[in-house]
Amino acid sequence: MKGARETILEAVGETPLVKLQRVSAGLAADVFVKLEFLQPGGSMKDRLAIHLVDEAVERGKLERGGTIVEATSGNTGAGLAMVAAVRGYKSVFAMPDKVSHEKIAALRAWGAKVVLCPSSVEPEDPRSHFSLARRIADETPGAVLANQYFSQANARAYYKSLGPELFAQTGGEIDALVAGIGTGGTLTGAGRYLKEHKPACQLVAVDPVGSVYYDKFRSGRDTRAFAYKVEGIGEEFHPPSMDPKLIDEMVRVDDRECFSMARDLVRLEGLFCGGSSGAAVAGAIKYARARDRKENIVVVLPDGAAKYLSTVFNDEWMRDNGLLGGDGTVRDLLESKGGRAMITARPDDTVRHVVQTMKQHGISQLPVVGDNDRLFGIIAEVDVLRHLVTGEGHLDGTIEHLVESDYASVTPETRVDLLQGVLAEAKIALVTEGRRLVGLITKIDLIEYLSRHT
């Protein structure tokens, strides 16, 4: 019949672009949102899923009746499960155990098998969902690993679909594309197309507190990942599916900002979108506020609210996880310290100078900064001790090779209740604004603050 699609897969793409009104009030920029949560499978990953399966078939890796295996936080799995249902494949997904019940139930509704894995382990750990997916694919006859994190097909999918669609929809009048980064394929794939056709277009990545991307972008150092609640964005390693050289700016948000904005988008704009969509818009507003100029900013809203009704949109869950109410922000904590001077070191300082500084001020670790207070890392007394005990170092050498990354970085807007979890795992929390170090918080600082506010 005229106007009908052959299958649901042909309905993927061509999602609406809508201007925000209330949550972006007061900004000089106009902020538009790309409603990818209206895709048939519920997320922007439908575009990727079709592309990954098509490439696997073309390469002869996936045959009729075969099995699609993937490590997923839910959305890529949903897209792949939808493709598998339409084309007659089987599907198996390894997922981190922090994902919502709705995502797991949706995959099983499509006929997929789901295996849950601990989310607090390293990607190389045999228990991680990455390792398990590889093992299942290796041990299952006729199976193929979709491999979204490690395949260049990821970015190609968005280069071929989302990029051209955005450019045509906006008539080329797009000044910045903002998206949360997980695999990074969406932003750098679509962004590459946009930059080829409009080189001035800025690509802005949004990363949650706890992920490794932000510190790598700001300081070039690999830092530890820490637990966070928002799903689908952020990562504990740097997947090759992303080209970081294309990213112009990166904005950090925390769980509370992500979820608060998601709830506002539903209640104030009527957009039934999820937590990672809230993250992207919160980041876009921070970016627009810092730029304070008339421009057109487009934000990708990856998935919908239906997958998070038991979490983000559940007051009891939010309260249990310290995401409603709270004890103030990092900025409040820093101000409560009464303007106490921050003591730092530089990469070219000598070991002797650092030892004297630690002894003089009675401290065991120092942030290390370069020009313009740009964060370089930290140095701790245990590193100095190890350096001297081995006999390979001396007091008049510089500390540059002793600087380490065992710290967490937060922003002044980070909530104190989130900071409690961060400092349970990290030695120290360094507070950054843009590329500048503006403060530091130790465990005793947090204890003193909480004791005054309890």
pLDDT attached to residue 210:
87
Residue 81: both structure tokens together: 């499960």
Residue 205: both structure tokens together: 């990545």
Rounded (to 5) percent helix, strand, coil in the chain: 40, 20, 40
pLDDT attached to residue 405:
78
CA-wise closest residue to 62 among 72, 52, 71, 74? 52
Inter-residue contact 106 to 78 (CB < 8 Å) = yes
Residue 317: both structure tokens together: 């869950």
pLDDT attached to residue 25:
95
- Give the largest CA-CA distance in the chain: 83
pLDDT tens for the chain, 454 residues long, are 888 999 999 999 999 999 999 999 999 999 999 999 999 999 999 999 999 999 999 999 999 999 999 999 889 999 999 999 999 999 999 999 988 899 999 999 999 999 999 887 888 889 999 999 999 999 999 999 999 988 888 999 999 999 999 999 999 999 999 999 998 999 999 999 999 999 999 999 999 988 989 888 888 878 878 888 899 898 878 888 889 999 999 999 999 999 999 999 999 999 999 999 999 999 999 999 999 999 999 999 999 999 999 999 999 999 888 887 666 888 888 888 876 678 889 988 998 998 899 888 888 888 888 877 778 888 888 888 888 887 666 788 888 888 887 788 888 888 887 787 778 777 788 888 877 788 888 888 888 888 876 5
HSE-CB for 280 with a 13 A CA cutoff: 33
> 90: which DSSP letter?
E
On the 0-12 / 13-18 / 19+ scale of CB atoms within 10 A, 345 is buried
- Partnered with residue 34 across adjacent β-strands are 17, 300
pLDDT attached to residue 168:
98
Torsion of CA 249, 255, 257, 260, to 10 degrees: 140
Coil vs helix vs strand at 196: helix
Residue 160: both structure tokens together: 């071929």
Which residues are catalytic, by number? 45, 276
CA-wise closest residue to 299 among 157, 166, 149? 166
> 307: which DSSP letter?
G
Torsion of CA 172, 176, 180, 184, to 10 degrees: 70
pLDDT attached to residue 325:
66
Helices of type H across 152-303: 153-160, 162-170, 185-197, 213-219, 255-269, 275-291
The phi-psi region of residue 328 (left if phi > 0; otherwise alpha if psi is between -120 and 50; otherwise beta) is left
pLDDT attached to residue 326:
64
Phi (first) and psi of residue 138, to 5 degrees: -70, -35
422-453 pLDDT per residue, tens: 787 777 888 888 777 888 888 888 888 888 76
pLDDT attached to residue 327:
67
The total number of residues written for the chain in this structure: 454
> For the residues of 104-124, what is the DSSP string, one character each?
HHHHHHTT-EEEEE-TTS-TT
- Residue ranges and CATH numbers for the domains of the chain are 1-324 (3.40.50.1100), 330-453 (3.10.580.10)
